[in-house]
Structures are given as structure tokens and as C-alpha cells.
Amino acid sequence: MSPVVPQTVAVAFTGASGMPYGMRLVECLLDAGCTVWLLYSQVAQIVARQEMNLELPSRPAEVEALLAARFRAADGQLRVFGREEWFAPLASGSNPADAMVVCPCTMGTLAAIAAGLSQNLIERAADVAIKEGRKLVLVPRETPFSAIHLENMLKLARLGVVILPPSPGFYNHPQTVGEMVDFVVARVLDQIRVPHRLMQRWGETGGENP
């Protein structure tokens, strides 16, 4: 069966380590022709600065302009919403994204989603994805996991949420950090059925990646 590209994917950056995964994911989604609705926490701004020397402005409109230029997005292809922008489309089940990915995902955000708290737009959008039966992928960057973390992940997994820790494989012999990032991003894209050429798939040799 051919992959089905979601028309709209919500991506949330939270304050866990792993911002390169999130940024690369947004880039690949835009390259694939998806519309991206981006959300980010205040701590994600700190992580972006620390890990990527990237200053994410506090105003969503400025982040939208910055990343649209960085990734050469088409007009209207990337939209960025504030943390308490309750009139954003993804705050309601009447207009949810086709899929949502929280990457990276803190244990605090994961716990809030598991509890249905909906205290900010990230948590509310995830709550909407669950209740509307849309694909929700969480990329938790923490180690080791405590029993609390595992119980929250199990609760969400039983609801159909995909728990995808950023654990790169080494069977494809990565030579750079970028290739390790692409391994994880490829697995996220596979979960939401967005085609990509980030890595050679298992059992395939030679030629271009499928």
C-alpha cells in the first residue's frame, strides 16, 4: 500500500533534549508537502539555544517567519501558534490536525497528556488527537525511565498513542550525528505515513533509498 501523506501535521517542541530531531522533522514534513502547525514551550526555546544555537523568538509570528525562511516553506504551509492560543484550529475536535507529533517530549508533557490536563495548547491538541482518533506520536527523551514514566507511557499506549523514544539504530553504519537524527525522524515519518528517503530500509541494498 502506498503511503498516505497527511494534509496537516501538528508538531510540538517541548523542553526535553533532542531539538535537532524536532527541527529535522519539521523540515522533512515541509519537504513532503505537508502543512505544519507548530507549537513550542518556553523551555523549548532554551533547549533550541543550547543545542542548536538557534534563537526562537517569543512571538509565534516571528518564529513562523524565521522557520518558513529557513526551510523555504510555501506561503501558508507553516503556521505557528502560541501556547494559550485557544482559538487555534487544533484546539477543537471540529478542526484537528491529521496527525500530531510531540518531539522532543518531556516527561511532564507526557504525564499531562496521560492525565488529560489540557493546561496549554500543546496538551489540548494532544487531547484532541486522542479523542478524535488521530495518530499521536510522542518522542520522549529521558533515561532511565522511572516507574511513573513507564506507567504513563503504558496508559497512553493502551489508548493507541505511539511511544517512540529517539533510539537510533547502528545497523546502517551512521557516519554523522545528522544520520543518527535522520534514523529517528524516519521512524516518526513512517508512523504518520509520510514518504521519505532518509535512510536505506532493512533488507534493501544498493541504489537509491525507497
Q: Which residues are annotated as a binding site?
A: 15-17, 41, 106-109, 141, 171, 187
Q: Which residues are annotated as a binding site for FMN?
A: 15-17, 41, 106-109, 141
Give, as one character, the DSSP assignment of residue 200: P
Backbone angles phi, psi at 16, to 5 degrees: -75, 160
Q: Tell me the three state secondary structure of residue 131.
A: helix
Of 19, 102, 30, 101, nearest to 54 by C-alpha is 19
Q: How far is CA 164 from the centre of its chain?
A: 10
Alpha carbon separation from 5 to 190, 194, 197 (Å, rounded):
10, 5, 14
196 vs 185: CA distance, rounded Å: 10
Contacts of 187 (CB under 8 A, 6+ apart): 164
Residues 107 and 140: beta-carbon distance below 8 Å? yes
Q: Which residues are annotated as a binding site for dimethylallyl phosphate?
A: 171, 187
CB atoms within 10 A of CB 25: 26
Q: How far is CA 185 from the centre of its chain?
A: 9
Write the single-letter amino acid at 167: S
